[in-house]
Structure 1
């Protein structure tokens, strides 16, 4: 009967997780041979995706295992870096998304780009609380990988087939199970250092020690601690990210793309026709420092154009944020009366600091005022004006985010009345606190201007001493927003053999669980718009009669709320080896949600071994995914601005008029609103897999798993591009927002949560391993590839279908058609050298408006283009030296050739920060990175 050997699992581990030392492969190969020869019996263990304890090699579902050796040898310094190299992981959020975005440093994982919210993350098979900083749209409604110390991980099991009966029907994309170190007395101390050029340098230390043997001493305790720190990386330290003004060639032409803000220093202002001009440029004939001239014709047929100085905010970004992390984990097991009582405790804290350009915003300049008379009247501007200004003297806007996570699991396991049982209670909580600096209130800035202290038309550092002090006094520094997510779960499950069949024992697994989810949104008084003087903390409204202020530049208030849900579930699972060559499986689960009623889901699977070297397997099932608590219950609030600029067309003007609002003049970004939706329906899915494993001889292993996921009533928001293209077709997608700084009520885009429609995704995960014992050592080469075959997604119910495969357009993201890794290791004595090729296919970038240049570099017009981003690959090198069993020294280079990310001119997209010139969601800006790790084991 075909069994997936241990060496084959190690090979697949290498393919998905990075690099596996050849020494590990040799030892595991010997272990597999001994087991197959009958010298050591295979033990039954819990395998991700099933409630039944069974031999790991027997699984009928596609589970990839990353061993501790694979993790150490991968060069990954964190769980985040580890999983982002998996070929089957696409669409995950990284730390750089915090640059200009409200991510609070969240890092998640999405399997096959089906979604982070549909990918279930477990710790030792237990659910964990979702991120406390998740948004009301569902972003970051997953587990923050920064909370798990990589030093505590024994192995990672990745199930790429979803809707598990054991864990819950909501794991539509798959399950990632982090298994920590248990039942060991070994100790390990590791120190490491990573050094990219000019920034993002990292130092780390971790220690693990186990005490006691469960069988001999009746107890075991394992303690793990990890600490790491990383410095910032500034945009100006990378040639591909240091400016918002880039000239490039494509399609046989020369182009220019300018990424900028219309709020510079000195300020731009509107003239009597509503056009944006630069008083500084009109007076001096050139734009000031850190800006460039921008000419934007209106596309409404009026013949008008904005002619102003755009601020190059890209130069002020820190594209990799500072970070400090501390993790502690304790696992204890005690043997009492033949049963095990155990507990796992995880405590973690991540602190991240990200900085972007000084705050921009709008200031009203009334006709007849001193500023108007001095700067605007000489230019022929006679009416009221609005100045678009950047408070440069207040310094960079800074986000200082802290994410704390705690998890406690207590339980008992063992055998009773012929049942292998496991009963647990687990409590987990994610607390997120986001503090800010460099922000004033909009009314406070207006008062500075009207008092005559603040002059928005002078350059950096040119304010009077009194104005500088007033700016300092108006600066808010402190807590801004955050939240708490809590999960409590009681689980009881067991398995046993019911009877003997022709192929073995008929196995039954049953279980039940109760979950209690809670979420609290905790905006500060400033974020709620409840302060008259944010810097001093003075309350507004009520008996005070003081006007409430909001944040300058993105005035919007959010209200606190709390909500919860309870869910209960029961499940049963059967594994029936009807023949020695054929095993069938079936599972049924029933869930009851306090807010969404009942759901019944099922799964069927098979495993067939027609020949000793060939295994064929498959499964089919359905899933049920309720929206998050915030997606349903959050109050409507300001949600930033649109990613693109839009002109006030007659259709937009009609919408604005109907809402008694002002339509933005010229090409402007619009305020965005969002809120929960109590009418949301759950997502429902169907999944299927079909795969094989073939090992014709010991030196070659082949495998492939075809997978398919289809979802209906998917959660999301109508895209701004769709709504702005046809404003009248979406009357429910509009609202208003009042800017307290100018007092004007503007038309706003309303992006509430909705059930959008259906989606389909199909692909294949392929792995190939070749092993050869050469005269100089053992040579292994492993290839792992995920190939996307189909993706179709609706942006509205009964609407057209779109695909992101090789296409950055309507969906605001890219799904790479091909993504993979090829690793080759040579083991010679106590040395192991590995060369790894990481690769992904190209795509067509989003359509972008650029300027056309002539041979002399002059702008001759504008053109909409779609760039082709080519195939991209990087090389990693690693050397491992183990002079003795207790010592190991690992040195390597990531991105060996220091290859820059490909240039992309697009500027929008779901989850993107403010970086320009490359897409930080897909490419690492750190460049060539040297690292070294030294480990002492005892």
Structure 2
């Protein structure tokens, strides 16, 4: 396969600049209008037409304003989006290692890494974390949305449609484009304090932003956000039979809830025009999050405890430090020939360090350290983009034809660094080697991997008449590690009149396997609910000989086909309703296999150089899925004598089915093994782990006297959990639940004072059945879409200028 050198794209960029000495001012991106429900808001996502609005879009798109984000009562971007979008799911898993610290979000029930995240229209890098434990998003390495401070956001545009032909890999479920504030004036500062009704989870945050102008043609907008949250704990006492290895009865020894977090995040957005028609721009973010999450309690009599070290047992903790940074430099403008150019360099990097506290390496005996450095994961992304577009008046069309084309080079790196020897070594004493809860990365685990890709795209859009809009896009991408792929998209919109329009899209897409999915490898301590014995399970790289013997194959790209059909309705002047149905077929979907475990597996792995390992797992393209769903979104502005009332409602219904499961590899049934690569647990997680439907109704009443009252009621549909017990006796269905969020704000002379509550009715998900609750200690499922912390009250004071 031909591999493109990045210098070729750089040469093309320089050629474009030197060939265009005369420039005219490029059209600026229009800001969102004050009314967040107005379908006349201009959009920049999913289109390259300069004046396309939400109502005119050929695909469903949501505009989430900063007022909407702030009204959700949270300082986490992903949590705010999940409360504002019916098709976005953001559960709060616990005791899932680093997934507690970097939680994944789903769009339309698909995998977290099947949605593309942009910032100001530029591709955002993923996290280095690979989610391995029993949580929604298992096997994914998504973008960390919570690394972007809400204080920096002008609006969020969410395209609910396949867009690989426009943006490349990952845009199967849709695109989230975070648009940063860029004004050269104005600003705000706010302080917030809150706590859960259970008396824990105390939070305090400080945030602010400010715009500055420099010279006649320069502006810079800065934003920062920082804060702390205490952990929450909804664990209960041990209710099982008492024995020498059991937990102490009548005492809460686990911590089950949100981790303790300290986080700071910064952002900037700058533009400078040194001459007419030439604009340099740059923007970026940086964040630092330290999260302390909890593992399973080790009882005093646990064979991997040493009583002289921990006479009452111990609760190991994982101390994660996630450092995330990104910046973009670019040049845009318009040539004398009318071509709009955008040339940019994009850098993103995420590093995740692992430490384990309050633990021990049993095999080292009583002299074992208590704290360990486990190692680090790191991803780096470098992107060069050249984007060109122009609107042509062809004469035979009523409106101009917008032609856009461009090229992209992307380089990606994944590094896995080893921990200190005591974190992984097998000492002379009996017992599990390595640090309890998370053994360190060994030198054999460590690796430095990289790849590059190049892409070319062509995009055509036009309004054929004042009623009919058409669009077509095609994109070719070639990767150095797995091959090449081509995606296409057709879109159309027909307005029957001012009140009714029909729109539809048909597209193909893809998602390249991440470097983490191909090469990450480690051994972890895995607790299977209902089994008192911890397992040492190894995640194998797909090219490891042991994994190959168990049926692993080189990963290939996922391929998708997306069909969407929708209505845009405006029956009244201030009432807007969109109804969109969709079907997403994904072939060769990449998932993590079941935990292949048992005595026969242990013997199999020991014979291949992995002594003391009870099980293994690897990534595979083993399933095809079909997702069908319906989105309904409506908004209404009601003028009142004392102010205005804005009402919004949203509904999503979503169902994923397994269309194909690859035959079980012969290696899993040979030599005494009797295993399923994709068993009932993973099948159930994909098809029924997320809520089947979700509905919300929100209202915001702004009075003439400076008061604003916000209320949102949300119904989360039922979801299911599955167990590897073939009888199904431990499977469970969790009923639908309602939550209610309330807030009141008073504004005067630039000041705003807010008191509010999330989940004010103190709703909890159904409790897990006893067999799935670790003898009553862990009463709730980590799949719960709104978590299991209960009611949260907060107060906020801010000033805007």
User: Which residue of structure 1 aligns with residue 321 of structure 2?
Assistant: 402
Matching of residue 900 in structure 1 with residue 794 in structure 2: no
Q: Secondary structure at the match of 1:346?
A: strand
**Where does residue 448 of structure 2 map in the other structure?**
562
The CA deviation at 1:90 is: 4.6
Superimposed CA distance per residue, residues 443-466 of structure 1 (whole angstroms, 9 cap, x where no aligned partner)? 223xx4xxxxxxxxxxxxxxxxxx
- The Cα of 1:697 is off from its aligned counterpart by 1.4
Quote the Cα distance in structure 1 between the aligned partners of 2:722 and 2:519.
Answer: 34
Paired residues of 1:533 and 1:549 also in contact (CA < 8 A): no
Match of 2:191 in 1: 191
* Cα distance between partner residues in 2 of 1:699 and 1:523: 59
Q: State yes or no: 1:932 paired with 2:795.
A: yes
Kindly indicate whether residue 471 of structure 2 is the aligned counterpart of residue 596 of structure 1: no
The residue that corresponds to 1:316 in the other structure is 254
Q: State the partner residue of 2:113.
A: 117
Contact 2:538 2:613 in 1 (8 A): no
1:297-341 alpha-carbon deviations (Å, 9 max, x no partner)? xxxxxxxxxxxxxxx7x6321522111111111222111222110
- Which residue pairs with 1:676 in the alignment? 541
Counterpart position of 1:764 = 630
Per-residue CA deviations over 1:588-624 (Å, capped at 9, x if unaligned) read 1000100112111111100111111111111111112
CA–CA distance in 2 between the matches of 1:243 and 1:174?
A: 43
TM superposition score normalised by structure 1 = 0.72
Range with bigger deviation, 603-612 or 671-680: 671-680
- Partner in structure 2 of residue 207 of structure 1: 208
| 492 and 610 in structure 1: CA distance in 2 versus 1, 3 angstrom threshold | same
CA shift, 1:172, in A, is: 0.9
Distance 1:733 1:591 in 2: 41
Shift in Å, 1:395: 4.2
Deviations 1:499-547 (A, max 9, x none): 244331011011111000001011303377358699xxxxxxxxxxxx9
Structure 1's unaligned 5+ residue stretches are: 1-8, 11-23, 36-41, 236-240, 246-257, 269-277, 279-288, 293-311, 366-385, 449-472, 535-546, 647-666, 850-861
Separation (CA, whole Å) in 2 of partners of 1:607 and 1:685: 22
Partner of 2:698: 823
Shift of the 77–881 alpha-carbon distance from structure 1 to 2, 3 Å rule, reads same
Q: Distance in 2 between matches of 1:704 and 1:775?
A: 31
Alpha-carbon contact 2:537-2:613 (below 8 Å) kept: no
Contact 2:527 2:535 in 1 (8 A): yes
Specify every segment of 5 or more residues in structure 2 that has no aligned partner in the other structure, as ranges: 1-31, 544-553, 666-675
Q: Tell me how large the CA RMSD over aligned residues is.
A: 3.9
Deviation at 1:77, TM superposition (A): 1.6
Counterpart contact for 1:713–1:757, Cα < 8 Å: yes
Residue among 606, 622, 625 paired with 2:511? 625
Q: 1:557 to 1:929 in 2, by over 3 A?
A: closer
Kindly state the Cα deviation for residue 847 of structure 1 after the two structures are TM-superposed. Answer: 6.1
Q: 2:498 aligns with which of 585, 604, 612?
A: 612
Give the Cα–Cα distance (whole angstroms) in 2 for the partners of residues 917 and 490 of structure 1: 46
Is the CA contact (8 Å cut-off) linking 1:187 and 1:207 kept in structure 2?
yes
TM score, norm. by length of structure 2 = 0.83
Contact 1:212–1:221 under 8 Å retained in 2: yes
Aligned length: 736
Tell me how far apart the structure 2 counterparts of residues 405 and 188 of structure 1 sit (CA, whole Å).
24
Give yes or no for contact 2:100–2:258 (8 Å, CA) kept in 1. no
Question: What does residue 7 of structure 2 align with?
Answer: none
Matched, 1:783 2:780: no
Structure-2 residue corresponding to 1:290: 248
Check 1:734–1:88 CA distance in 2 against 1; reply closer, same or farther (3 A cut).
farther
Matched, 1:551 2:421: no
Give the whole-Å Cα distance in 1 for the aligned partners of 2:800 and 2:303. 66
Counterpart secondary structure, 1:631: helix
Alpha-carbon separation, structure 1, partners of 2:146 and 2:318:
18
Which has the higher Rg, Structure 1 or Structure 2?
A: 1
1:362: Cα distance to partner? 8.8
* Mapped partners of 1:139, 1:847: distance in 2: 18
Shift in Å at residue 863 of structure 1?
10
- Paired position in structure 2 for 1:839: 715
- Is 2:621 the counterpart of 1:736? no
Of 572, 589, 597, the residue aligned with 1:714 is 589
- Which residue of 1 is the match for residue 746 of structure 2? 881
SS at match of 2:183: coil
Aligned in 2, Cα 1:361/1:706: closer, same or farther, shift over 3 Å?
A: farther
SS in 2 for 1:166: helix
Structure 2 partner of 1:660: none
Cα offset, 1:488, TM superposition: 0.4
**Residue 248 of structure 1 corresponds to which residue in structure 2?**
none
Whole-angstrom distance in 1 between the partners of 2:428 and 2:723: 43
1:492 corresponds to 2:386 = yes
Q: Deviation of residue 748 (structure 1)?
A: 2.8
Map of 1:854 onto structure 2 = none
In the alignment, structure 1 residue 55 sits paired with structure 2 residue 56: no
